[in-house]
């Protein structure tokens, strides 16, 4: 009941004052979305010693079919629906939120390149600005300039934002050497087909970590982050049959609708990808049953429980700089 009353008050305030009551838009000179529209990001002020750096999700594209003007596989311009819904970690007035009172930096996603692109590509009659890296660098420069001595940092993102978080975490970790930092990818385990062209087509910015290959798998990046920064906590979450991740894996295989075989194949590879970095003590994961995509923007953040471990307690431990237990169904 208290949570319902808080949400009602939140929506009433948002209707009366707009998102500006909680979030400040910051324009990015030279920032650009896939369709050429301008880029901006959002900051919700809070304790400057505690900062959430949050990469938005929103699909991806890598060829004429997925990148076409009518394609619905990726965001083409800034869209901040998560902030308006104010659920999960975006509920800024709930004391149950592990990040209640923190500064929250929200990095919109509108470039179809998992936040790492450095290319403008002609797909045969139309161009897509895969300039996610340019946009993210502008946001991080703002963060580094305005929050010079934070004590705790939580780097995260849902879906495509999970890749943004893990691909850019090295930049945050190498800048804030004294802070307690947790990195958590939400529903982006990195299963892809052999020869997937996206990262090369986007001219992707790769993490600067020792031992990575020229085209690293995502599980390699998780492990490299954990080994290079042993004082940080590196984590990820996914459901075991994530419908959205399976859909994109099927697209990579040329299937417009995932076959049962493809879904099973993804599930096996996904669990392997989540488990592989487990040799690092400061790496953890939360595997949940079902097919739901992402949890951080959803109300289920406060109710999900697998075995004896609630997701809320698991996430709160990350926020406190602890390494929570590894959880699987």
- 8 A C-beta contact, residue 222 and residue 284: no
Question: Does a structural domain hold residue 100?
Answer: yes
Question: Does a structural domain hold residue 250?
Answer: yes
Question: Does a structural domain hold residue 144?
Answer: yes
Question: Does a structural domain hold residue 11?
Answer: no
- 8 A C-beta contact, residue 184 and residue 155: yes
pLDDT of residue 17: 55
Question: Does a structural domain hold residue 14?
Answer: no
Question: Does a structural domain hold residue 138?
Answer: yes
Query: What is the number of structural domains in the chain?
Result: 1
Q: What are phi and psi of 33, to 5 degrees?
A: -95, 175
pLDDT of residue 41: 98
Sign, CA torsion 227/279/116/206 = positive
Q: What is the pLDDT of residues 167-220, one digit of tens each?
A: 999 999 999 999 999 999 999 999 999 999 999 999 999 999 999 998 999 999
Question: Does a structural domain hold residue 326?
Answer: no
Average pLDDT, the chain: 95
* Band (95; pLDDT cuts 50, 70, 90): very high
Residue 14: is its pLDDT beyond 60? no
Rg (Cα) of the chain, in Å, rounded?
19
The mean pLDDT of 5-32, rounded to a whole number, is: 72
List, in sequence order, every residue forming a beta bridge with 127; answer none if it has no partner: 122
CATH at residue 54: 3.40.50
Residue range of the domain that includes 141: 23-320
Question: Does a structural domain hold residue 6?
Answer: no
Could you tell me whether strands 152-158 and 47-55 are parallel, antiparallel, or unpaired per DSSP bridges? Answer: parallel
The mean pLDDT of 68-88, rounded to a whole number, is: 96
CA 10, 319, 211, 217: dihedral to nearest 10 degrees?
-40
* Band (15; pLDDT cuts 50, 70, 90): very low
């Amino acid at each position: 009941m208290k949570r319902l009353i808080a949400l009602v008050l939140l929506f009433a305030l948002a209707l009366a004052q707009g998102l500006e009551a909680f979030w400040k838009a910051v324009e990015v000179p030279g920032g650009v979305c896939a369709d050429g529209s301008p880029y901006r990001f959002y900051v919700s002020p809070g304790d400057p010693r505690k900062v959430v750096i949050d990469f938005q999700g929103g699909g991806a594209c890598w060829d004429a079919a997925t990148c076409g003007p009518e394609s619905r596989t990726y965001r083409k311009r800034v869209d901040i629906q998560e902030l308006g819904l104010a659920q999960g970690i975006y509920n800024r007035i709930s004391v149950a939120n592990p990040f209640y009172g923190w500064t929250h930096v929200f990095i919109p996603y509108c470039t179809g390149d998992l936040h790492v692109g450095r290319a403008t590509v002609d797909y045969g009659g139309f161009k897509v600005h895969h300039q996610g890296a340019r946009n993210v660098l502008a946001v991080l420069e703002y963060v580094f300039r305005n929050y010079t001595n934070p004590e705790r940092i939580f780097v995260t993102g849902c879906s495509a934002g999970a890749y943004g978080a893990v691909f850019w975490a090295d930049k945050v970790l190498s800048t804030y050497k004294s802070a307690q930092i947790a990195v958590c990818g939400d529903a982006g385990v990195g299963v892809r087909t052999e020869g997937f062209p996206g990262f090369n087509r986007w001219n992707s910015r790769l993490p600067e970590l020792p031992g990575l290959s020229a085209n690293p798998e995502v599980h390699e990046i998780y492990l490299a982050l954990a080994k290079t920064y042993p004082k940080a906590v590196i984590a990820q979450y996914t459901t075991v049959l994530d419908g959205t991740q399976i859909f994109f894996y099927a697209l990579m295989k040329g299937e417009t609708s995932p076959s049962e075989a493809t879904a099973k194949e993804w599930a096996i590879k996904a669990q392997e990808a989540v488990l592989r970095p487990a040799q690092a003590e400061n790496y953890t994961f939360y595997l949940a049953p079902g097919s739901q995509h992402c949890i951080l923007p959803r109300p289920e953040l406060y109710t999900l429980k697998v075995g004896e471990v609630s997701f809320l307690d698991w996430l709160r431990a990350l926020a406190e700089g602890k390494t929570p237990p590894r959880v699987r169904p």
